[in-house]
Amino acid sequence: MEPDVRYTFIGVTLVALIAAAVVAIVWLTGAGSGDHYRKYEIVFVRQSLEGLQIGGDVAMRGIKIGQVVSYSLSSTDVNKVTVIIRIQRDAPVAENTVAVVNRTLVTGIARISLRTPVPAGPPLKTVDGQEYPLIKEGTSTEEQITDAASKIAESGAEALNRVNALLDKDNVEAVTAVLVNLKNITAGLDARLNRIDQTGFVRRRLQHLTCRFRAAAKTTSG
């Protein structure tokens, strides 16, 4: 009798454990894809998705709020990639929320970051023809750095072209002629100033001699 009781107890325990496992799996599946999470769609065109994996993190303000579910390449546009993400239902996704791709410098693993400016717009909803609400693609830090570098390069090239144009043969000759004219004008002004100074010296000398003659005349008449 004792072995039968023991086997019965073990059997009941195994059945209970299996049932509990099934219930847990069903609950987790329902919690993960039902009330607690919501799916969104993102279409990336400009940003590279290198290092992004299915199951990769989706974050908002540095906090993980979900994960990447799937991604697919467009058959008509080689630069277009559609990514489906699953994030917490209570995450504040607004109409002006944008998605950018960030990477860890050491590992190169990418994640999607959702950014919402202030003030936030109304909650993002599905429109006609969409299976999931569509989050717009934003501008990543890498793109901003690349754009800034491109603008600096363009400005440098433009400045170099202007310098080259200034150093053109005709311009150099024109600038040289202007400098020669300025030199001649300066020399002429110096000569005139010297003559003016000399004239003033002669005038002062004559005045001095006139004063001496007048003084001598007064002394003689006296």
pLDDT tens digits for range 113-136: 999 999 999 999 998 888 999 999
The mean per-residue pLDDT over the stretch 24-47 comes to: 75
Express each pLDDT in 52-84 by its tens digit.
Answer: 999 999 999 999 999 999 999 999 998 999 999
The mean per-residue pLDDT over the stretch 77-98 comes to: 95
Domain boundaries, the chain: 35-139, 168-222
- How far apart, in whole angstroms, are the C-alpha atoms of residue 64 and residue 49? 18
Round to the nearest angstrom and report the end-to-end CA distance of the chain: 173
Residue 175: what are its φ and ψ, rounded to 5°?
-65, -40
